[in-house]
């Protein structure tokens, strides 16, 4: 993998057509590893001299916000300096020059800022339900599994298992285990396919880390928000929704909601975040694990615009169960609700 990534960086210095494997804007562990492994597979199995480059869909400066990503890269000796980030490659310029082919992995809808790149999309590999009206007109492969990395593993093991080394297998293995909550069937995140391909990786590489060990380490790294500012916490795992002229930020916050609400100057920080990034609504979805190791999600909505805040408070379905409790219509922080995930 390291030699391959070194070649990718060298390819950026040359003026040539590129096949870019692009993960989603959150750049969580699943997205990052899926992009790296799929690009590696395509580069090793394509007979033509096409250049396949994985691109992480965040700025380089944002990688430290994703503790589980950093942990896994360090554990399996992938230098961060070899990775290519979105602010290090001009996809729009490549497209205008007719030198870009895109493969989307772990997402299938480009944001509005990348709308003109849609015609460059040649393939999609995702594990989320398709938004029919917005999916690019290309080959789309979607299967509802717990981790997109499972689908990449399947592609590799069915297409060219001989290219898989321990380093790449370890990246895939750890990511599936984290995404599928340590393959806990009671939680219901893992599917039969996820389970099957974790077992296949373990059979091929018996010295892979024990499931409990790698899950606990990744979980700890993912939920470690010590030292982060409120803005960094909001950006750590964030997606943007744009609908009917309203920009909504949805941020996963890896701590209990009550602890989040006690942060100093929280309202001022939320206001500054929305102003800086031009959001009308901010949905903070806090996540923690209870004593039974079940993920508990809590939702709070920040909306600085009074009229829109009133609209949201009158439409509880807008927040997907978030406003089942009473909402305050005078405070920008509308309300919260918590629930435990069940199969």
pLDDT in tens, 43-82: 999 988 899 999 999 999 999 999 999 999 999 999 999 9
In a domain, 16, yes or no: yes
In a domain, 225, yes or no: no
Rounded Cα gap, residues 20 and 4, in angstroms: 14
In a domain, 200, yes or no: yes
pTM confidence score: 0.81
What pLDDT, on the 0 to 100 scale, is given for residue 339?
A: 47
Same domain for 214 and 234: no
Structural domain harbouring 188? 2-218
In a domain, 13, yes or no: yes
Same domain for 319 and 248: yes
What pLDDT, on the 0 to 100 scale, is given for residue 340?
A: 46
Beta strand segments in 42-131, E: 52-55, 100-105, 121-126
Same domain for 206 and 268: no
What pLDDT, on the 0 to 100 scale, is given for residue 29?
A: 97
Q: How far is CA 173 from CA 7, 19, 34, 149, 196, in A?
A: 24, 25, 11, 9, 11
Same domain for 326 and 300: yes
Same domain for 253 and 213: no
Q: Please count the structural domains in the chain.
A: 2
Same domain for 253 and 280: yes
Same domain for 151 and 113: yes
Q: What is the pLDDT of residues 110-156, one digit of tens each?
A: 988 899 999 999 999 999 888 766 666 778 899 999 999 999 999 99
Last residue of a domain, one of 218, 249, 266: 218
In a domain, 223, yes or no: no
CATH code for the domain in which residue 14 is found: 3.90.1640.10
| CA neighbor of 105 nearest in space, from 56, 69, 68, 154 | 56
Same domain for 326 and 177: no
* In contact, 69 and 31? CB cutoff 8 Å: no
What pLDDT, on the 0 to 100 scale, is given for residue 67?
A: 93
CB atoms within 10 A of CB 210: 10
Residue 321's pLDDT band, with cuts at 50, 70 and 90, is very low
* Per-residue tokens: 274: 């929305």
Same domain for 212 and 68: yes
């Amino acid at each position: 993998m390291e030699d391959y990534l070194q070649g990718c960086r060298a390819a950026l210095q040359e003026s040539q057509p590129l096949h870019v494997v692009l993960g989603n804007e959150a750049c969580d562990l699943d997205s990052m590893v899926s992009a790296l492994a799929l690009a590696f597979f395509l580069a090793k199995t394509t007979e033509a001299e096409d250049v396949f480059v994985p691109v992480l869909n965040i700025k380089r400066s944002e990688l430290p916000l994703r503790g589980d990503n950093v942990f896994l890269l360090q554990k399996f000796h992938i230098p961060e300096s070899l990775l290519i980030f979105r602010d290090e490659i001009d996809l729009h310029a490549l497209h205008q020059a007719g030198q870009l082919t895109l493969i989307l992995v772990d997402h299938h809808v480009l944001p509005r800022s990348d709308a003109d790149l849609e015609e460059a999309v040649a393939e999609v590999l995702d594990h989320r339900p398709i938004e029919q009206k917005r999916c690019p007109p290309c080959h789309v492969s979607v299967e509802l599994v717990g981790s997109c990395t499972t689908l990449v593993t399947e592609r590799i093991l069915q297409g060219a298992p001989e290219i898989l080394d321990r380093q790449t297998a370890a990246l895939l293995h750890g990511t599936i285990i984290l995404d599928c909550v340590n393959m806990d069937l009671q939680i219901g995140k893992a599917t039969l396919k996820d389970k099957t391909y974790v077992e296949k990786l373990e059979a091929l590489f018996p010295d892979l880390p024990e499931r409990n060990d790698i899950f606990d380490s990744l979980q700890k790294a993912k939920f470690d928000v010590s030292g982060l500012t409120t803005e960094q916490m909001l950006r750590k795992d964030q997606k943007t929704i744009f609908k009917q002229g309203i920009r909504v930020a949805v941020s996963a916050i890896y701590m209990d909601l009550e602890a989040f609400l006690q942060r100093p100057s929280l309202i001022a920080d939320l206001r500054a975040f929305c102003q800086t990034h031009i959001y009308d609504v901010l949905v903070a979805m806090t996540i923690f694990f209870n004593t039974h190791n079940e993920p508990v999600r809590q939702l709070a909505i920040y909306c600085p615009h009074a009229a829109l805040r009133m609209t949201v408070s009158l439409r509880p379905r807008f927040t997907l169960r978030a406003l089942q409790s009473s909402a305050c219509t005078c405070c920008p922080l509308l309300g919260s609700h918590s629930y435990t995930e069940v199969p």
